[in-house]
Amino acid sequence: LGAIDLGNYVFALPIRITATTRLGEGSVIDIEREVGLSGAIHSKGLLILTSFLASRYSHSMPLSLNASLVFEQSYSTVEGDSASLAELCALLSALSGLPIYQGLAVTGSVNQYGQVQVIGAVNEKIEGFFDVCNARGLNGNQGVLIPAGNVKHLMVRQDVVEAVRAGRFKVYAVENVDQAMELLTGVPAGEPDADGMVPKDSVNYFVMVQLMRLSQMRKENAAPSPARRRVVRKTPAKQAAKK
C-alpha cells in the first residue's frame, strides 16, 4: 500500500509487487533502483531484506539465488521502506511456490531479523484499500496487514470501523514476517527447533528446500566435467613425450 502526499491531503492506493527467483549468487535486483525510480530509503529496505534472507537461510550453504522485485505499473519515484514487508513476502512466495491471497494488502517495514516495524500513514492506507474493496464488493475475506506497533495509531473512518465490526473487512496486526506469511498463504510458517530444523510442509520448509536445490545446482555447474579435467591434466611436455 502506497501513500501519496499532496500537502494538505494524503491518500493511499494498492500497488502490485511481483518477484521472480532463479539460480544465481545471492543478489536481489530492485528494478526500480536499476531504472532510477527508487529513493535511498527504499534501496536501503531492499538491502535489509537481502540481509534477512542470508541470515535466516544461509548458515550452512551459500545463498545461490538471483531475484528481481518490481512495483508493477509504477511510473514515479518510489521512496520509503514501508513496502519491504510486502516485498519480502512476495519473494518468499516465489521461493516456496506458495501463492499469496490477493484479497489482503500489506504495509510494514522489516528489520534484519524479520521483525515488522511501524510505518506512517497507516490510517490512510487502510482506508484506501477499504475503498477499493468496497467499490468492487466486500466479501468478508479482504483486509490489511499492518505492523503491531501501529495499532495505537489507528483512527480510521467510521464506515471502516463498522465494516470491521460486521466482519466484512479485516485488519490484522503482525509482529514478524512469519505471521504475515501464515495469513497470506494459509500455511504454517514453521518454527525451527533446537537443531535448526523446520517442520515439513511449512513456509520455511519449502523455502529451505528450494534454496538447497539452487545451492546444489550452483555447485554442480561450478564443478568441471570429467572430460575437461582430463584435458587440463595434459601438459605439452607429456603430450610430446607420448608422441
Could you give the CA distance from residue 243 to residue 199 in angstroms, rounded to a whole number? 61
Q: Which of 38, 109, 125, 202 is catalytic?
A: 125
Distance from the Cα of residue 125 to its chain's centroid: 19
Q: Which of 38, 82, 84, 96 is catalytic?
A: 82
The overall longest dimension of the chain from CA atoms, in Å, is 93
Cα→Cα distances 134→58, 103, 130, 163, 218, Å = 43, 12, 6, 10, 47
Could you give the CA distance from residue 185 to residue 181 in angstroms, rounded to a whole number? 6
Question: Does the active-site annotation cover 43?
Answer: no
The answer to whether the beta carbons of residues 61 and 102 sit under 8 Å apart is no
Question: Does the active-site annotation cover 82?
Answer: yes
At a CB cut-off of 8 Å and minimum separation 6, what does 50 contact?
26, 27, 28
Could you give the CA distance from residue 182 to residue 218 in angstroms, rounded to a whole number? 30
Could you give the CA distance from residue 148 to residue 122 in angstroms, rounded to a whole number? 11
> Which residues does the annotation mark as catalytic?
82, 125
